[in-house]
Structure 1
Amino acid sequence: MRRYSLIAIFLHWTIAALLAFQISVGWALEDLGAGGFSLYQLHKSVGISILVLTLIRLAVRFWKPRPVRIESGWQGALASAVHGGLYLFMLGAPLTGWALVSTARVKVPTLLFGIIPIPHLPLPADAHQWAEGGHGLLAWLGIALFLLHVAGAIRHHMMLRDGLIWRMMPARSPMLLVALPGLMLVGLLLGKAILPEPVAEVARPQPAAPATQDEIAPPSPTNISVANAVETAVAPDDAPAQAEEAIPPPPGWTVQPGGRVGFSVDNSGETISGGFSRWTAKIVMDPDRPDSADIRVEIDLASATVGDAYQDGMLAGEEFFDTAAHPRAIFTAKGAERTGRNSYRAVGTLSMKGASRPQSIRFTLSGTGDSRKVAGSASIARLPFGVGNGESSGGLAPRVAVTFQFNARAQ
């Protein structure tokens, strides 16, 4: 019996294994939430690969002569319909998936296996609904055709015993008869094996409650008043004038290159860490008189990165920082208080994504003279700023830890 060409045989079994993998993974993605992000990217890459291999398979189908049909009547018509439907599925499922990604509200870049960029299709946003429906419908159709195709092959080999299956084998070998169809089982099991645990359904966190008095209150005026009263009682009448003349203005500090502003957030039990590569700080402060502090920090939100091109693209989108409309986050504070020998707390205002909220930061100073090393942290509630406001953010913790460190020199 005449066989298919070797390249057709190779493409047939490769596509079959990839389809089995896609079926195994695809139906689980919706239940994984944000924890399935990396698997979602792999699903897209495998889908594009199936599309490319199917196009090659079609070219080979017309380039290389095929074995003649051995079945006629309604059985032959059904076999032809299943083959045609499978080609529709192998082309349509990747294309509707591509359209689905291209029209999504959150624009996630597509990189083929993290290397080759795949552009979005130039489709209108209202095409998203039909792309989503079409992708799901084709998935069900593909599973049905997949099962019919396998059932037909088993019928020919086990019941009709006409040797039809050998046409899709490079040699008449019992070992190949087990190994090649076994690739589909390998694809199914591999897809199941790499699935992470589903994210448990939890109530969406409510916006953070107003900060406690300790978080938003400036240094206690009572303590300042007591200290002033004691100084007034023991100082001579001209002490205030002498003090004003003796106290120099607080120095300004220039941030030296090499500093870092980083962030981390829990995502369904895993930690996502990243940082901002572009930011500036204007600082005026006498470490011995922290109430003299005047701090302004501006962060370029478009410079945010977590080391993954897919997720970096999501950070810039409307669901997270919306950098097109709100390119910067700004923190300002007037005054600080000492909380330890070299540690301080500053309470100010954080403005981001069109919202402004009270925010405190804690930091330490080390070194002496005109050179100091600064290290600090803050805990920021993301929900009041609308950061992470979509379905893909369901697994994110409500607070983001921010850390910073840099060297500064007095001007």
Structure 2
Amino acid sequence: MQRYSRAAIFLHWAIAALLAFQIAVGWALEDLGARGFALYQLHKSVGMTVLALTLARIAVRYWKPRPAKLENGWQGALASGVHGGLYAFMLGAPLTGWALVSTAKVKVPTLLFGVIPLPHLPLPASAHGLAENGHGLIAWLGIALLALHVAGALRHHLLMRDGLIWRMVPGRSTALLVALPALILVGFVAGRAILPAPQTTPAPAPVVEEADEDAAPANIAEAASAAAPADNVAANATQAAVEEPVGPPPAWTVQPGGHIGFSVGNDGETISGGFAKWTAQIVMDPDHPDSADIKVMIDMASASVGDAYKDGMLPGDEFFGVAAHPTATFTAKGAEATGANRYRARGTLTLRGVTKPQTIRFTLSGKDAIRKVSGSATIARAPFGVGNGDSSTGLGPQVALTFAFTAKRQD
């Protein structure tokens, strides 16, 4: 009996195993939310691999013609129809997935297996719904066609006993007859095995009343500040009230090497990152904090969490909306002492075109012309519209901000 070429046999079973993997993963992606981000990238990478192997399979089909059909009539027509449908599925599923990603509101960059960049297709955003619905429909039709294909192969091998299945098994090897179809099961099991474990329901997060923000320490440093003896705070405040400033408050220049970082909870994990570009204008007499005039400007396009996929999402409309709002600005007039070398500044934060009250806390160390500054803030992301899409459902409501830098007094 004439067999398929070895190239065709290899591509047949490789594609079958990868499709089983894709089906196992694809079923779960919608329910994983943000936890499925990395798996979603793998799903895209494997999908493009299936597309490439299918194109190779078509080329081999014409280079090495397949064996003649064993059946005619309606059975032969049905078999041909199923084969044609499977090729349409193997081409259509990756292409509609590619179109879906290319037309999504949130432009998620794709690096195939974390290495090869995949450009977006030049499609209008209006095509997103069609691509999404088409991808889901093609997936279900593909599953039905795969079931028919397997049923037909079993019919020929077990009922008709015409040896048709040996055309896809090298050397009529009984071991390969078992091992090759087993690859399909292996692909499906592998897809299920790499899914994240079901998430347990977390304990309710404590509700922080906005009016009590200053009374509740946001981190360990603030807790230590709150635990400072009350007489020290009172003495500091009294000293500030009695002593009058001598001359205008000094201006300070931020030295290279400073850092502004952020972190946010994400389905039980923590995403941490920072901003590479920012500037600060600071005027303040540490002995008279009410003289403070602070302005910090952050280049939002410089945000990074150390992951190429997620970094590509941050400038988009779901998060920072950099195209329309490239800069975030914090300003504060005046500060107050909360302990020895500890201060609090109430001001405003403008982010994505929205301005809201914001408090920062900071500590000064050193003396004379060089001071080290470190501090923190807790920012509610929802009022600024940060994280407003489907991929943000697992993000915590509060973003922790930290900063540290050295400032030199201007002469």
Moved over 6 A (4+): none
Give the conservation status (yes or no) of the 8 Å contact 2:352–2:384.
yes
Once the two structures are overlaid, the 10-residue window that deviates more, 140-149 or 69-78, is 69-78
Q: 1:45 maps to which residue?
A: 45
Give the conservation status (yes or no) of the 8 Å contact 2:240–2:288.
no
Superposition pairs of residues 313-392 of structure 1, within 5 angstroms: 313-392=312-391
Give the conservation status (yes or no) of the 8 Å contact 2:381–2:397.
yes
- The alignment partner of 1:108 has SS state of coil
Distance 2:389 2:208 in 1: 17
Distance 2:89 2:360 in 1: 55
Q: Does 1:188 align with 2:188?
A: yes
Q: 1:158 maps to which residue?
A: 158
Distance 1:211 1:394 in 2: 26
Distance 2:209 2:375 in 1: 24
Q: 2:222 maps to which residue?
A: none
TM-score computed with the length of structure 1 as normaliser: 0.90
Once the two structures are overlaid, the 10-residue window that deviates more, 324-333 or 154-163, is 154-163
Once the two structures are overlaid, the 10-residue window that deviates more, 267-276 or 364-373, is 364-373
Give the conservation status (yes or no) of the 8 Å contact 1:33–1:198.
no
Deviation of the 1:369 alpha carbon = 2.0
Distance 1:63 1:197 in 2: 45
Superposition pairs of residues 227-238 of structure 1, within 5 angstroms: 227=238, 231=242
Deviation of the 1:171 alpha carbon = 2.3
Distance 1:228 1:373 in 2: 23
- Paired letter, 2:44: K
- Paired letter, 1:326: H
TM-score computed with the length of structure 2 as normaliser: 0.90
- The alignment partner of 1:183 has SS state of helix
- The alignment partner of 2:15 has SS state of helix
Deviation of the 1:342 alpha carbon = 2.2
Q: 1:235 maps to which residue?
A: none
Deviations 1:38-95 (A, max 9, x none): 1111111111111111111101100113211112222111111111000000000111
Identity among equivalent positions (%) equals: 70
Q: Does 1:120 align with 2:120?
A: yes
Deviations 1:272-311 (A, max 9, x none): 1111111111111122222221111000111111112221
Q: 1:86 maps to which residue?
A: 86
Q: Does 1:271 align with 2:270?
A: yes
Q: 1:254 maps to which residue?
A: 253
Structure 2 segments unaligned to the other structure (5+ residues): 217-233
Give the conservation status (yes or no) of the 8 Å contact 1:252–1:285.
yes
Q: Does 1:14 align with 2:6?
A: no
Q: 2:98 maps to which residue?
A: 98
- The alignment partner of 1:3 has SS state of coil
Question: How large is the RMSD of aligned CA atoms in angstroms?
Answer: 2.4
Give the conservation status (yes or no) of the 8 Å contact 2:263–2:399.
yes
Q: 1:286 to 1:352 in 2, by over 3 A?
A: same
Q: Does 1:393 align with 2:395?
A: no
Q: 2:73 maps to which residue?
A: 73
Distance 1:126 1:65 in 2: 41
Give the conservation status (yes or no) of the 8 Å contact 1:31–1:198.
no
How many residue pairs get aligned? The number is: 390
Superposition pairs of residues 298-317 of structure 1, within 5 angstroms: 298-317=297-316
Q: Does 1:130 align with 2:116?
A: no
Structure 1 segments unaligned to the other structure (5+ residues): 217-222, 232-239
Q: 2:108 maps to which residue?
A: 108
Q: 1:136 to 1:322 in 2, by over 3 A?
A: same
Distance 2:199 2:111 in 1: 25
Q: 1:50 to 1:371 in 2, by over 3 A?
A: same
